[in-house]
Amino acid sequence: MTQKKLHPSVLKFKEFVKNNPKLIQEVRKGKATWQELYEDWYLLGEDDKRWETVGVESEQEEKPNSESKGDFISNILGVVKKMDADQMQSHLNNVSQAVGAIQGLLAQFQGNNGSGGGAVRPPEGPKNPFSFRQD
C-alpha cells in the first residue's frame, strides 16, 4: 500500500498535537474542529498563549456547572419557602373547579350521544342483509 506524503506543515501539526493531548479532547467534545485548530496553529504558531488555555478552559467550565446546579436547587428551595400556603390552596381550588366544569361539559356531550336524545344515528338496516322475498 502506498501512503500519501503529507505536507511538512501537516506533519509538524501532528507532532504538535501529540505533545498537546488536550487538543484531542477539545475536538472530541465538539468545542473545535481539526481544521480550526490547524489554522490557528499555522497562523499563531506553537508558542501562542491560546494553546496554554485550551485544557484550562474546559476544566474551569466544568466547575461552574456543578456550582450552578447547587444554585438552581437552592433557588427552587427558596421559592418553595416563600410560597403562601393559603394562596396555593386557593389556586388549587380554582384549578379543581375548572377541571370539574370541563368534565361536566364532556359528560353532557357524551350523555347526548348515548341516549339518542338528539343525536343522529345511522339507519338500521335489516338484520340479514341478504334477505330476499320468496315467492
What is the pTM for the complete model shown?
Answer: 0.39
Asked if 66 and 39 count as a contact pair (C-beta separation under 8 A), the reply is no
Q: Look at phi and psi of residue 4 and say left if phi exceeds 0, alpha if psi is from -120 to 50, else beta.
A: beta
57 pLDDT more than 60: no
64 pLDDT more than 90: no
Asked if 54 and 22 count as a contact pair (C-beta separation under 8 A), the reply is yes
63 pLDDT more than 70: no
Residue-wise pLDDT for 102-133, tens only, equals 999 999 988 866 555 555 555 565 566 566 66
pLDDT for 103? 93
76 pLDDT more than 60: yes
Asked if 65 and 37 count as a contact pair (C-beta separation under 8 A), the reply is no
